[in-house]
Amino acid sequence: MKHSSFLSVTDYAADELSYLFDLAIELKKKLKSGQAAPLLNGKTLAMIFQKPSLRTRVSFEIGMRQLGGYAFYLSPDEIGLGKREAIKDVAQVLAGYVDGIMARVFSHDHLVELAEYARIPVINGLSDFNHPCQAMADGLTILEEFGTLKGINIAYVGDGNNVAVSLMDIAVKMGANFTIANPAGYDMPEEAVKLAQTFAKESGSRLRFERDPLTAVKGANVIYTDTWVSMGQESEKAEREKIFLPYQVNRELVDAAEKDCIVMHCLPSHRGQEITDEVQDGPRSRVFPEAHNRLHAQKAVLAYLLGDSMM
């Protein structure tokens, strides 16, 4: 049976995730060759946004159009999720209008409640806990680069945030090794780590938790970073910039990794802070192919959840 929603990659088995990667690759090939893939003719997607976005909005809207469907944007002021109207009411109303919901929210609990009451697929476009759509684009990018995720050494440098959680999740599900280097007090949530440790035992992944970024990137095939100050943390900006300064991804750090190492960032980046121009624009950077893969990975998720038949 198909899954009803896409809230976390940990809800999916490794073979299911592999299927989604294969589907993304096939859809990407069809797009490049000019072939239509109208898997979602007549289907509609409501896109709920509590946070602003470039990649999430454009990739989902264009993705639905390329699949033959239609997506529309709902701003924070239009819904007031959980404020103007109860979440379960929003879910049940939209379920009578559309075939799926994508939500980009602050609280992960809002997504869980939407999925509980909607009775149609709900896709996590980002929450304060995780970012599974980004992880699918990340996994696709690594797969295209190395031909596999199994045994690939991924080093994440920076805040143990929602992006780090989902990157760890896709790693342990697909057999990649995951290391994070972050300052004390900025660790990933304990429940996320415990769950990842369980899946790592099944897949053979190795998990490492470090404070020193140079130690973390030793042997790395992938170095990954994200902003030091996420949306909603603006009051902590000055303090975070001081604390995270030793965690900048710069030439010295990249040179300490494997020669085939690639550098990734979910964007938006703050150039000169968590990553230097020299690295982001350099030959090892896969930042923009990674961003473009949001489109293809999400099209696979959309086709899987909303489609009546597969390719």
Same domain, 55 and 102: yes
Q: Is residue 46 part of a domain?
A: yes
Same-domain pairing of 204 and 221: yes
Tens digits of residue pLDDT in 212-225: 999 999 999 999 99
Residues 223 and 119 in one domain: no
Residue 103 lies in a domain: yes
On whether both 140 and 249 belong to a single domain, the answer is yes
What's the pTM value of the predicted model, to 2 decimals? 0.96
Do residues 162 and 279 both lie within one domain?
A: yes
What is the residue range of 25's domain? Answer: 9-131+293-306
Cross-strand partners of 271: 275
* Same domain membership, residue 207 and residue 102: no
Which CATH number do you get for residue 297? Answer: 3.40.50.1370
Establish if 257 belongs to a structural domain.
yes
- Residues 297 and 256 occupy one common structural domain: no
- Tokens representing 269 are 């980046």
Residues 155 and 286 in one domain: yes
> Residue 269: inside a domain, yes or no?
yes
Residue at 1 is within a domain: no
Query: How far from 84 is each of 78, 80, 81, 90, 183, CA to CA, in Å?
Result: 9, 5, 6, 10, 38
Return the bridge partners of 263, or none: 223, 285
What Rg value do the Cα atoms of the chain yield, rounded? 19
List, run by run, the mean pLDDT of 10-residue segments along the chain (311 residues).
88 97 98 96 97 95 98 90 88 97 96 96 97 98 98 98 98 98 97 98 98 98 95 85 97 98 98 98 98 98 86 49
In the chain, the number of structural domains is: 2
Is residue 311 domain-resident?
Answer: no
Catalytic residues: 104, 131, 134, 226, 266, 294
Q: Are residues 61 and 167 in the same domain?
A: no
Query: What's the one-letter identity of residue 215?
Result: T
Neighbours of 56 (CB within 10 A): 21
- If one counts every other C-beta atom within 10 angstroms of the C-beta of residue 40, the result is 26
Residue 42, burial from CB neighbour count under 10 angstroms (0-12, 13-18, 19+): exposed
- Please give the pLDDT value at position 255: 98
Q: How many helices and strands in the chain, by DSSP H and E?
A: 13, 9
Question: Could you give the C-alpha distances from 118 to 87, 88, 150, 161, 267, in angstroms and in order?
Answer: 10, 7, 36, 28, 30
Predicted pLDDT of residue 272? 96
